[in-house]
Amino acid sequence: MSDPRVAQALVQLPDYAGSHVRVAAIALGLGIALSLPLAFLCVRRPALRALALAATSLVQTIPGLALLALFYPLLLAAAALTERLFGVGFSALGLIPSVLALALYSMLPVLRNTVTGLMGIDPAVREAALGVGMTPRQSLWMVEWPLALPVIMGGVRTAAVWVIGTATLATPIGQTSLGNYIFTGLQTQNWVFVLVGCIAAAALALAVDQSLALMERGVAIRSRGRVIGGALGLLVIVSLAVVPTFARGGRGYVVGAKPFAEQYVLAALIARQLEANGLAANRREGLGSAVAFDALAAGDIDVYVDYTGTLWANEMKRSDIRPRDEVMAELSRWLDARGVLLLGGLGFENAYTLAMPRARAQALGIRTLDDLARVAPRLSIAGDYEFFGRPEWQALRAAYGLTFRAERTMQPEFMYPAVASGDVDVIAGYTSDGRIAQFGLQTIDDNRHAIPPYDAVILVSPKRRGDAALLNALRPLVGAIDVATMRDANLRAASETPDAVARWLRERTGR
């Protein structure tokens, strides 16, 4: 237990596992509640049955992360509408979109097995039921349903395993789950977290599957003891869902973070800064770029760190390049019009930058992006999950005519070893990442200034912008971190937990 990452993983396990169980249990319950009546309704209606099975099968073709992400903007619009019409809104982040998406995912196996079980009953049994005076509805509920129950339970088992596995993907839309281990671990190279998340999710799925299997077997052989034993096992597992309420100790201020190492560190730093001032803080980490800003504007998170270039290009839809002070002034006005407070910059810039091994760049005579453009058709480039779809990449291509032999998308943590080993020739790195120097890379000068400034800034939600306690706690962080310090922090994040790096940052900056 000497590795602090193991200790931290175990400390967070009750919260992560409890939240995972809660979202999975609610989603599975909702999926069953929708699937069973639909199955009873369509079992004797061939056209409706074909339509229902086709629709639920179609849901399965949508990648889990995409389905989860699609619900957030839909619910965000719905929340704004209810707020405007009735004066009552709801949080579109976290539990609700996760439950709805996972419930849809759970419907196919339950619906299919219920229909299969009911249609597989010997017609003579139905005829006998009708022959003793039962109505078709009475036959369905009193004869056919009990006979089909073992098959239906098999569908519920499959759905439960699917939901538990897919629930790990709910982290990017703000739902705490065992996926927090996996997303955080991948972004910070904390393989202990990744391993704990995988093992915990697999163990949870196995425990639920075996409990349901015990119930399924009990139903099949009419064993009340097996059914009760399986139900008790499920009850113990579901009781974990109450753990997050006690583990978090109250909501407090919610600090958001995007899904990369620097953001995890900065979220931990802000949380520690709030706690040092007597304010409770919770974190919602791994949020997508657009999700993070929308969540802040909607009040689902209270504070997070964003970058002026991201806001300029992605949120303001600006492609023109302006001096840093003009960008900051225009951005402040734009945010203010939306109720969001730009409290100030942290003191460093984290911009996209193309980089390649120094020796290779010197051999090819590459110092600027104009130089790179001449040889780019012979080279390959790697970027993170967002880069090739971002306005910045389009701006670079337009300004320099960049065309590479191949474009590869990968985890940011894997890009640096990949370019250092020659698996790719160029990467889209980050100016505040210490691994550029660590791996002997050379940044390539954006001599035409196609990329806007990327100063790290603290944003506060509309509902908290007048909160004096929060603002007073955060102001000491403004201008406190220079780029050299942030590079060191990012290097530390490869071997230490975000909380440990945040402690180091507080000591280094005297905060």
Under the banding of pLDDT at 50, 70 and 90, the label for residue 214 is very high
459 touches 294 (CB < 8 A): no
Predicted TM-score of the model (pTM): 0.78
Residue range 174-181: mean pLDDT, rounded: 86
- DSSP secondary structure, 317-338, as one string: -------HHHHHHHHHHHHHHT
- Residue 285, sorted as left (phi over 0), alpha (psi -120 to 50) or beta, turns out to be beta
Under the banding of pLDDT at 50, 70 and 90, the label for residue 1 is very low
pLDDT of residue 300: 84
Residue 248 has pLDDT above 60, yes or no: no
pLDDT of residue 488: 94
User: Which secondary structure element, helix H or strand E, spans residue 305, and what is its range?
Assistant: strand 303-307
Residue range 213-220: mean pLDDT, rounded: 89
485 touches 505 (CB < 8 A): yes
Convert the pLDDT of each residue in 462-499 to its tens digit. Answer: 999 999 999 999 999 999 999 999 999 998 987 788 88
Say whether domain 253-350+454-509 belongs to CATH 3.40.190.10: yes
Under the banding of pLDDT at 50, 70 and 90, the label for residue 3 is low
CATH topology for 4-246 is MetI-like fold (1.10.3720)
User: Which DSSP category does 363 fall into?
Assistant: H
- DSSP secondary structure, 72-129, as one string: HHHHHHHHHHHHHHHS-----SSHHHHHHHHHHHHHHHHHHHHHHHHHTS-HHHHHHH
Residue range 105-132: mean pLDDT, rounded: 87
Residues of the chain with CATH 3.40.190.10: 253-350+454-509
Residues of the chain with CATH 1.10.3720.10: 4-246
With pLDDT > 70 as the criterion, what percentage of the chain qualifies? 97
User: Token match 């969540």: residue?
Assistant: 295
Tokens of 391: 């306005």
User: Token match 């051999």: residue?
Assistant: 363
Q: Taking each helix axis from N to C terminus, what angle separates 261-276 and 179-188, rounded to the nearest 10 degrees?
A: 110
> Longest C-alpha distance within the chain, in Å?
92
Candidate from 134-138, 310-314, 488-492 with smallest mean pLDDT:
134-138
Residue range 213-238: mean pLDDT, rounded: 88
Under the banding of pLDDT at 50, 70 and 90, the label for residue 2 is low
Tokens of 339: 């109720």
Residues of the chain with CATH 3.40.190.120: 352-443
Convert the pLDDT of each residue in 335-363 to its tens digit. Answer: 999 999 999 999 999 988 999 999 999 99
pLDDT of residue 23: 93
Residue 81 or residue 471, greater confidence: 471
Convert the pLDDT of each residue in 432-460 to its tens digit. Answer: 988 898 899 999 999 998 888 899 999 99
Residue 283 has pLDDT above 50, yes or no: yes
pLDDT of residue 33: 95
Among the CATH numbers 2.30.42.10, 3.90.1640.10, 3.40.190.120, 3.30.360.10, which is that of 352-443? 3.40.190.120
pLDDT of residue 506: 92
With pLDDT > 90 as the criterion, what percentage of the chain qualifies? 52
The whole-angstrom separation of Cα 245 and Cα 95 is 14
Cross-strand bridge partners of residue 429: 353
